[in-house]
Amino acid sequence: MVHEEELVAQIKDWVRSSPQATIPAKTVLTEETDLIASGILDSMGFIELLVFVESVTGQKIDLSGLDPGEFTSIQGLSRSIVNGSSKSA
Amino acid sequence: MTELLKPQPQVGHPLIHGFVRSVRRFPSRTALEVGGASFTYESLGQIAGDIAATILDADPGANPLVAILAHRSLTAYAGVLGAHSAGKGYVPLKPKLPVERLSKMLIQSGSECVIVGEEALSILQGLLDTATKPLTILLPDAVDAGKFTVACPRHRFIAASKKLNPMPMPAAQDVDPDAVSHLLFTSGSTGDPKGVPVSQQNVTSYVSHVCERYGVRETDRFSQMFDMTFDLSVHDLFVCWERGACLCVVPEKSVMAPAKFIKDHELTMWFSVPSVIGFMAKMGMLKPGIFSSLRVSLFCGEPLPAAYAEAWQEAAPDSVIENLYGPTETTIAITGYRWDPIASPSACINGIVPIGWVFDHQDTCVIDQERNPVPTGERGELCLSGAQVTRGYWNNPARTAEQFIRLPASNGDDRVWYRTGDLVKQDESGCLYYLGRLDHQVKIRGYRVELQEIDFVLRKVSETEQVASVAWPVRNGIAEGVVAFICGACENNRPRILAHCRDVLPEYMVPRQLYFLDDWPLNSNGKTDRKKLVNLLETQGS
């Protein structure tokens, strides 16, 4: 079972290194930054982030019942995954 | 109910009459839910009437178009109604587009009046600095326009505080059926956006057909997913308001995966690009029966994979599912195929749902390279004709002559046909099957993209002729993005090239990856070998 802090760190590393992510000038990447609204990821890039999260957690993503606004930040996504929204693959 | 108030076919009447009739029939029903607020038909009509009166006071001349720089806000929707009530067409400008692109659209449209929402105020001055003539700017959300008056003295600003007598509903303006309802811009291969003026009659023909096709009623609750720059948004607004239904605007933050929004708002009518199904499936949102409120689900803008239709049917078991097809030039959608879970899977070609049969009062023809009709079942270019087909491109007779044609074997038939550039085949029942494009146009999340437009930008910024953009990756028959190849430029320029692309291209056209090549692949004709470029991507598994 992955811990929230650990997942936050892994996602942050992925966003910083992935070619799919671009941090626009004047944008500071924090755990609360909305990855879509800030332009760091487009929707396809976000899907690729979910694929990455599945690979590190071994869990199938299940974000049903949530609105994207609740999980498009690093903190929000990590919390949604760790708090059991997702199921074992 | 009097005969006058019953829904009647509206072909030949101004589009705004549908909304006006709904104001009379259902004044206290909700017309619009946006940003957490609700507006009845009566209140939305009053707000639109205020805007119409201001437009007529500010721009009473012959200019047929009003631009709307707003996004998913009350001002955006009331602005559309206000423009139409004033007898004008509208030009939607999405505030998030690069200013350079917005400026080209505004200048090309010739609009002298711009309605600006609060959400666009931050970019307004930058856009006005590029204007080629003095403009009148309506600021329905601003109490005071003083700041802009000082900063941009060339232009006239009218803030909300300057109240005029509202326009009485119904609209006092008579509208020529051929008058422009809206002017939309699509990707153009020459580097400039291409304007498509859609007439009042084009839209009323569509709305009339679709209201009957789906039995639209005042209890319906419509999704509003599409940006107003996307022609499919015209369906959301005008089909909904024609019958007194409620338009539920999906907030920007929910557009990617709006499962919770559909449930919370108990939507009955859904319309989106098929990609949204893929996003929601990936996020584990498509549970069996989750969308029990939906009775009609429409998909358009890109190929619909059979697997997506099956997944959606499971999630929305009581919903009819239709795959719609139609270029902007033929107004929203012009053919449709109703999904049948039993029969349809075997009707699909390459796992893609057919685009179906042409709507009533419209016509199709499949032609070969010499523009002669092909035998039934043979592949050819799809041509369309009928009341929904527009008259040509905005101020572009050369391009119009290329795409809007008369067929050689027409035997006195002087109808104009729009050449879609889409490769199809048609079976004996008239059902059409989409097989691909004849040119380099692709769809990214439903947005039409001319790859040559991206190439044009890349050539300019990288200072080399050897560039090529490619739709990639393609999964389930749907292109998910664009990547680009460059030869003859230094890889160190990657950040500068990408930054320039972001400055001038919409987000969905910006290459997600740049590949720098030492050798440029050419085919036997000496042209760029795109197949080899795709092979490189496949080999790389990217």
10-residue stretch averages of pLDDT, chain B, 542 residues long: 38 84 97 97 95 87 92 97 95 94 96 96 95 95 90 93 62 76 88 91 96 98 96 98 98 90 97 93 93 98 94 98 97 98 95 96 94 95 97 95 86 86 96 91 88 91 91 85 91 90 90 91 81 88 56
The beta-carbon neighbor of A50 closest among B251, B259, B282 is B282
Nearest to B365 by CA among B302, B303, B430, B429: B430
The SS3 of residue B386 is strand
Q: Read off the amino acid at residue B218.
A: E
The SS3 of residue A49 is helix
| Chain B stretch 230-249, residues whose beta carbon is closer than 8 A to a beta carbon of chain A | none
d(CA B42, CA B54): 19
Model pLDDT, residue A84: 67
Q: Which ipTM did the prediction report?
A: 0.82
C-alpha atoms less than 13 angstroms from C-alpha of B334 in its C-beta half-sphere: 25
Computed on alpha carbons and rounded to an integer, the radius of gyration of chain B in Å comes to 23
Model pLDDT, residue B226: 95
The SS3 of residue B302 is coil
Neighboring chain A residues of B290 at a CB cutoff of 8 Å: 64
Model pLDDT, residue B9: 41
Model pLDDT, residue B152: 94
B532 at A interface, C-beta within 8 A: no
Model pLDDT, residue B167: 66
Nearest to B303 by CA among B422, B421, B403: B422
d(CA B246, CA B29): 8
Nearest to B104 by CA among B194, B182, B189: B194
Total domains in chain A come to 1
Widest CA span in chain A: 39
Nearest to B183 by CA among B240, B238, B132, B229: B229
Mean pLDDT of chain A, nearest integer: 85
Q: Residue A74 sits in which domain range?
A: 4-88
Model pLDDT, residue A22: 80
Give the residues across from A12 on adjacent strands: none
With 90 as the cut, is the pLDDT of residue A33 above it? Answer: yes
Give the residues across from B343 on adjacent strands: none
Q: Does B254 sit within 8 Å of A67, measured CB to CB?
A: yes
Q: Does A60 sit within 8 Å of B284, measured CB to CB?
A: yes
- Given a contact cutoff of 8 angstroms between Cβ atoms, the answer to whether B453 and B188 are in contact is yes
DSSP B86-151: TT-EEEEE-TTS-HHHHHHHHHHHT--EEEE-GGGHHHHHHHHTT-SS--EEEETT-S--HHHHHH
Model pLDDT, residue B8: 42
With 90 as the cut, is the pLDDT of residue A26 above it? Answer: no
| Single pTM value for the model | 0.89
d(CA A66, CA B260): 6
With 90 as the cut, is the pLDDT of residue A10 above it? Answer: yes
- Residue in the structure block whose two tokens are 């009581």: B318
Eight-state DSSP code of residue B198: E
Both tokens of B104, joined, read: 């080209």
Task: Give percent above pLDDT 90 in chain A.
Answer: 34
d(CA B406, CA B262): 44
| Chain B stretch 476-495, residues whose beta carbon is closer than 8 A to a beta carbon of chain A | 480-481
Nearest chain A alpha carbon to B264: A65
d(CA B383, CA B373): 10
Q: Does A64 sit within 8 Å of B259, measured CB to CB?
A: yes
The structural domains of chain B, ordered by start, are: 41-199 (3.40.50.12780), 250-437 (3.40.50.12780), 443-540 (3.30.300.30)
Q: Does B513 sit within 8 Å of A64, measured CB to CB?
A: no
Rounded (5°) CA angle B217-B222-B224 = 150
Neighboring chain A residues of B275 at a CB cutoff of 8 Å: 43
Model pLDDT, residue A37: 84
Of B370 and A39, the structure prediction assigns the larger pLDDT to B370
Q: Does B283 sit within 8 Å of A50, measured CB to CB?
A: yes
- Residue in the structure block whose two tokens are 């101020």: B395
Neighboring chain B residues of A26 at a CB cutoff of 8 Å: none
Write the CATH number for A69. Answer: 1.10.1200.10
B254 at A interface, C-beta within 8 A: yes
- Given a contact cutoff of 8 angstroms between Cβ atoms, the answer to whether B444 and B481 are in contact is yes
Q: How far is A69 from chain B (nearest CA, A)?
A: 5
- The secondary structure element, H or E, covering residue B200 is helix B200-213
Model pLDDT, residue B11: 45
* Cβ count near B408 (within 10 Å): 11
Of B344 and A48, the structure prediction assigns the larger pLDDT to B344
Nearest to B227 by CA among B68, B22, B103, B100: B68
Model pLDDT, residue B165: 63
